[in-house]
């Protein structure tokens, strides 16, 4: 049971990871917003579902070019650990924040929505080999929040929400 749960949580961490594949040329406001999140972060939360427990994460956000952040992270939880990486860009041509992600053979582009002086990326209905997943990455109010939900093929739901604070 724990191996399957570890694989499911690893798949969900991958669902949150955005791979930087979009061109970015941002204005000053977008650069300032993204650069505010550059640095080292620590977070924790709880996993609910068939194998509940606590989760503890590290996250490093780096501004690589104007209008672009890349990140790497690692989460440890009762059933194991998972690493993730990705990027966030501001697409000036389309005047929006975007993230490209790939998880379990599913590729998506997520458009970020402005919220509370920040930006929120949300995806839902992602079909993985473990079930249907949804995820969210929120950069608002000087904090970062990641959440996920997986409804597996047996109808069981696993979810977590992790709030990060800057080190």
Question: What is the pLDDT averaged over residues 127-153?
Answer: 90
DSSP letter (8 states) at residue 155: S
- Are 16 and 120 in contact by the 8 Å Cβ rule? The answer is no
What's the pLDDT at 155?
95
pLDDT band at 91 (very low <50, low <70, confident <90, very high): confident
pLDDT band at 142 (very low <50, low <70, confident <90, very high): confident
pLDDT band at 108 (very low <50, low <70, confident <90, very high): low
CB proximity list for 63: less than 8 A, separation 6 or greater: 34, 35, 38, 69
- Each residue's pLDDT tens digit, 39-52: 999 999 999 998 89
The predicted model scores a pTM of 0.78
């Amino acid at each position: 049971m724990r191996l399957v749960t570890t694989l499911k949580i690893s798949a969900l961490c991958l669902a949150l990871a955005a791979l930087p594949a979009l061109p970015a040329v941002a204005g000053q406001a977008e650069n300032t917003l993204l650069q505010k999140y550059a640095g080292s972060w620590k977070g924790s939360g709880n996993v609910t579902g068939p194998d509940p427990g606590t989760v503890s994460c590290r996250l490093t956000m780096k501004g690589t070019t104007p209008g672009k952040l890349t990140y790497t992270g690692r989460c440890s939880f009762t059933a194991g650990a998972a690493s993730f990486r990705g990027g966030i860009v501001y697409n000036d041509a389309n005047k929006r924040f975007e993230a490209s992600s790939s998880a379990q053979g599913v590729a998506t582009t997520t458009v970020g929505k402005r919220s509370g002086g920040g930006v929120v990326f949300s995806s839902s209905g992602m079909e993985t080999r473990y079930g249907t997943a949804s995820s969210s990455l929120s950069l608002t109010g000087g904090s970062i929040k990641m959440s996920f939900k997986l409804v597996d093929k047996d109808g069981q739901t696993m979810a977590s929400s992790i709030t990060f604070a800057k080190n």
